[in-house]
Amino acid sequence: MVKKIKMKRTLIVLFILNSLIGYSQHHMFHFPTSIKNGLLALWEMNEPSTAGICQDATPNDIDLTYFNIINNQTGKLDKSYLYTDVNPLLLCYDSDLLDGIGSISLISWVYLNDFQTGNDYNSIISSRHSTWTTLNKVFKIFLGVKGGTDQYVSFRVATSTVFAETISPSNSFKETNWVFIAATYDSSSGTLQLYIDGVLKSGATLSGGGDIQSNTSNNFTVGHGDVDAVTNHWDGYIDQTGVFNVALTSSQVTLLYNGDSGIEYINW
């Protein structure tokens, strides 16, 4: 009788364990292959204070060089970089990251301490245009925040001849909060879309579409508008920043936002 009871208990325990394992395997989060295949680079901002290199977490190894960054700070997912208004020459950069790229998506978790004043922006990701110097057309790619009375996010794309910008509604970006920004550009349709915390906020069309202007003379920067200038820099924290060579869909952006929790690359 005792043996039968023990055997029943053992069977019950095994059944429960097997059920839990089956549930875990069934509900385990698997990142869509389509997103992973389109990922060009992802910088997790987890380096120690002595690194000097912002390491790409993907197998593509597109590392960024940085200087004067205050790193090893508490981030949204793990660690982050701190950009301060005291020293505006804080940036990560690469000279030719965008060369030959068509469609593109940019993502970043950001925390803004304070808006820039006047006509300056708080730049998240940017790369200057090689030939255009006209106001609002100096970037071939730009993602940043504008303060003042409007407080919106701006996303700009330029080919060699055409420029387009989409901006989020006024007061759609708030400082002193972690915010997930995603911006997409489809080179075949010319469609720009801008998301804040997983929600589509605005869109625009680049006439004729086409590839982003290709040149090796202008740096791709994170947290700064231009390597050679001291304006348009970020003031706050930046974490989990990535570039895709595809235009992400709205459902893919929602997955990346993950209900304000984000997703570490190890779980992709």
Q: Output the pLDDT for position 136.
A: 47
Residue 236: per-residue pLDDT: 92
**Percent of residues, the chain, with pLDDT higher than 70:** 74
Task: State how far the Cα of 31 lies from the Cα of 39, in Å rounded to an integer.
Answer: 12
Give the amino acid at 130.
S
User: How far is the C-alpha of 145 from the C-alpha of 155, rounded, in Å?
Assistant: 9
- For the stretch 195-206, pLDDT in tens is 999 999 999 999
pLDDT band of residue 12 (cuts 50, 70, 90) is: very low
Percent of the chain, pLDDT > 90? 40
CA distance 182 to 105: 7
pLDDT tens track for 68-83:
778 889 999 999 988 8
B/e letters for 188-205, b = 16+ CB within 10 Å, e = fewer, are: eebbbbbbbbbeebbebe
Rounded CA separation 255/31 (Å) = 8
**Whether residue 15 has pLDDT greater than 60:** no
Using the predicted structure, report yes or no on whether residue 20 has a pLDDT greater than 50: no
Least confident of 23-37, 138-152, 216-230, 237-251: 23-37
Give residue 172's pLDDT.
Answer: 93
End-to-end C-alpha distance for the chain, whole angstroms = 51
User: How is residue 41 written in tokens?
Assistant: 């680079």
Average pLDDT, the chain: 79
Architecture of domain 31-267: Sandwich (2.60)
Mean pLDDT in residue range 213-227: 70
Rg of the Cα trace of the chain?
22
What does the pLDDT look like over 64-117, one tens digit per residue?
877 777 888 999 999 998 887 655 444 566 666 777 788 999 999 999 999 888
pLDDT in tens, 133-180: 554 455 678 899 998 888 999 999 988 778 899 999 999 998 899 999
Tokens standing for residue 151: 């407080």
